[in-house]
Amino acid sequence: MKLVVVQVLLIVVVAVVAARLFRSRGARAQAIRRLGVLAFAAFAVVSIIFPDVWTRLAHVFGVGRGTDLVLYGLVVAFLSFTVTTYLRFRDLETRYTRLARRIALDEAEVRGRLEGGPEH
């Protein structure tokens, strides 16, 4: 089987994107994300080399075309990304709020001590 220049280019792009995502830090969630990236990269490379796989797989799931199956998969992936990003930002906002409160309380305590107020 001959690889077309476009296929080689697409495989390189997928590899670069996957490598870029591996550079970020984290713990358990990062490990799960890395496994997901590996699976996505593997599926991307396989679908670039063997584009008919999606059509055959679509027929197994009762979908008419492979492109429709890919679209459905991308919709699910986008929704999961959106939910994950929302939850991450909500967690960050909560952390920032707690940090701001803690700093405000600490600064008020220091000001109270400097002004000769009651100590806690």
pLDDT tens profile 46-72: 888 888 888 998 888 888 888 888 888
Residues 33-37: contacts with CB under 8 Å, at least 24 apart? none
CB 55 within 8 A of CB 61: no
Residue 118 phi, psi (nearest 5)? -65, 140
Look at residue 40 in the predicted model and tell me its pLDDT: 82
Rounded Cα distance between 88 and 82, Å, is 10
What does the pLDDT look like over 30-40, one tens digit per residue? 777 778 778 88
Same domain, 94 and 57: yes
More confident residue, 103 or 80: 103
Domain that holds residue 30: 1-50
Residues 30 and 68 grouped into a single domain? no
Q: How far is CA 25 from the centre of its chain?
A: 12
- Are 60 and 88 within one domain? yes
Mean pLDDT of the residues in the chain:
80
Based on the fold, state whether residues 43 and 81 are members of the same structural domain.
no
73 and 120 together in one domain? yes
* Number of structural domains the chain divides into: 2
**60 and 2 part of one domain:** no
Q: Which helix (H) or strand (E) holds 18?
A: helix 5-22
